[in-house]
């Protein structure tokens, strides 16, 4: 179960949250680079790694790192709750201020952390990052990303840019605003824009993956995109309503055509080309089908917004946590 995000706040500590799924080969390097980056800047830190139901030796590596350095803490989830679920678990368990989320695969370079902290100390409450150079993404993937963020920006009214990720800094006030929202699922990239606060953006170069392979496949990308659209727009539901209106309008026009044809045939004496009875049945079916689509669309407007909420399932479940986190709980 989740823990209140402000249970043991430590304003003098920087929390770095990193979800990890089968990233055993990268964790030692992640720890060393985060440690060097923050210690060179004179920062006290908490590195909180969320094991997202890994089936390799990720959890064993986390136990060893935590025993070696108590600043390394971990949460092991009962199964894979998705990338966003793992980030939310880490954000809710983190005790520092500010809180920085990043991937454990090191494509988010830890050397950028001091620059993010510099902006925070100058007054920024949210620091976004944008990918400046990313050779790991194909041209097709870049075009899909650009199209998705352009569409979502248009639908939501938020300025969402292609190239953003979950590599960001949050002031604790901004964090509490996000974690305090009782909505499932949370589309963090949209919510961090929606809440406002003072925001700045910095660019970074995506590093090549040092070990392992990407776990973020097309299916997960599609699901993330769908969550984003459904979280900030009811357009998919309205399309059903619109299709119902179009079909019903077509039925009315077709019915008017059938009536006009019958009248014309009667007046002119030419035989009617449409078989008697068939037009009435076809028009009725099309009309009532359109009405049903309108009804489904209207019901979906209401049911779609409350369906996930009424289930009240937690965003994640914890199987194990490090000793330091157990003491704080």
pLDDT tens digits for range 122-159: 888 999 888 776 666 666 666 766 666 666 666 656 67
- Which are the contacts of 240, defined by CB distance < 8 A and separation ≥ 6? 293, 296, 297, 300
pLDDT value at residue 62: 92
C-beta atoms surrounding 276 within 10 Å: 8
Name the 3-class secondary structure at 12. Answer: coil
* Residue ranges covered by each domain of the chain: 13-233, 235-311
Name the 3-class secondary structure at 216. Answer: coil
Instruction: Return the CATH superfamily for domain 13-233.
Output: Spore Coat Polysaccharide Biosynthesis Protein SpsA; Chain A (3.90.550.10)
Average pLDDT over residues 54-71: 89
pLDDT value at residue 4: 45
pLDDT value at residue 306: 73
Side-chain half-sphere CA neighbours of 28 within 13 A: 8
Name the 3-class secondary structure at 17. Answer: strand
Question: What size, in residues, is the chain?
Answer: 329
Partner residues linked to 20 by β-bridges: 51
Reading the block at residue 34, the tokens are 């985060």
Least confident stretch, 90-99, 170-179, 232-241: 232-241
Report whether 90 contacts 50 (CB < 8 A).
yes
pLDDT tens digits for range 154-207: 665 667 666 677 888 999 999 988 888 877 777 777 788 888 888 888 888 877
pLDDT value at residue 227: 60
Partner residues linked to 130 by β-bridges: 164, 203
Least confident stretch, 139-143, 194-198, 247-251, 319-323: 139-143
């Amino acid at each position: 179960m989740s823990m209140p995000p402000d249970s043991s706040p430590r304003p003098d500590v920087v929390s770095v949250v990193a979800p990890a799924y089968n990233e055993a080969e990268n964790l030692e390097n992640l720890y060393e680079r985060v440690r060097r980056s923050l210690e060179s800047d004179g920062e006290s830190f908490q590195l909180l790694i969320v094991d997202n139901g890994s089936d390799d030796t990720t959890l064993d590596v986390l136990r060893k790192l935590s025993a070696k350095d108590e600043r390394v803490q971990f949460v092991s989830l009962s199964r894979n709750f998705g990338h966003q679920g793992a980030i939310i678990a880490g954000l809710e368990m983190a005790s520092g201020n500010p809180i920085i989320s990043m991937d454990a695969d090191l494509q988010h370079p830890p050397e950028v952390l001091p620059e993010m902290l510099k902006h925070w100390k100058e007054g920024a409450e949210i620091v976004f990052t944008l990918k400046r150079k990313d050779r790991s993404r194909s041209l097709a993937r870049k075009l899909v990303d650009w199209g998705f963020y352009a569409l979502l920006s248009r639908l939501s009214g938020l300025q969402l840019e292609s190239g953003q990720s979950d590599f960001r800094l949050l002031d604790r006030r901004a964090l509490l605003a996000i974690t305090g929202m009782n909505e499932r699922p949370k589309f963090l990239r949209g919510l961090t824009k929606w809440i406002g606060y003072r925001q700045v953006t910095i660019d970074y170069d995506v590093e090549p993956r040092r070990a392992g392979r990407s776990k973020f496949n097309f299916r997960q990308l599609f699901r993330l995109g769908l969550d984003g659209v459904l979280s900030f727009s009811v357009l998919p539901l309205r399309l059903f309503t619109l299709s119902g209106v179009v079909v019903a309008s077509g039925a009315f026009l077709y019915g008017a055509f059938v009536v006009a044809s019958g009248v014309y045939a009667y007046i002119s004496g030419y035989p009617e080309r449409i078989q008697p009875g068939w037009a009435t049945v076809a028009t009725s079916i099309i009309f009532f089908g359109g009405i049903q689509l309108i009804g489904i669309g209207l019901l979906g407007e209401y049911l779609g917004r409350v369906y996930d909420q009424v289930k009240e399932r937690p965003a994640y479940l914890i199987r194990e946590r490090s000793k330091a986190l157990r003491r704080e709980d």
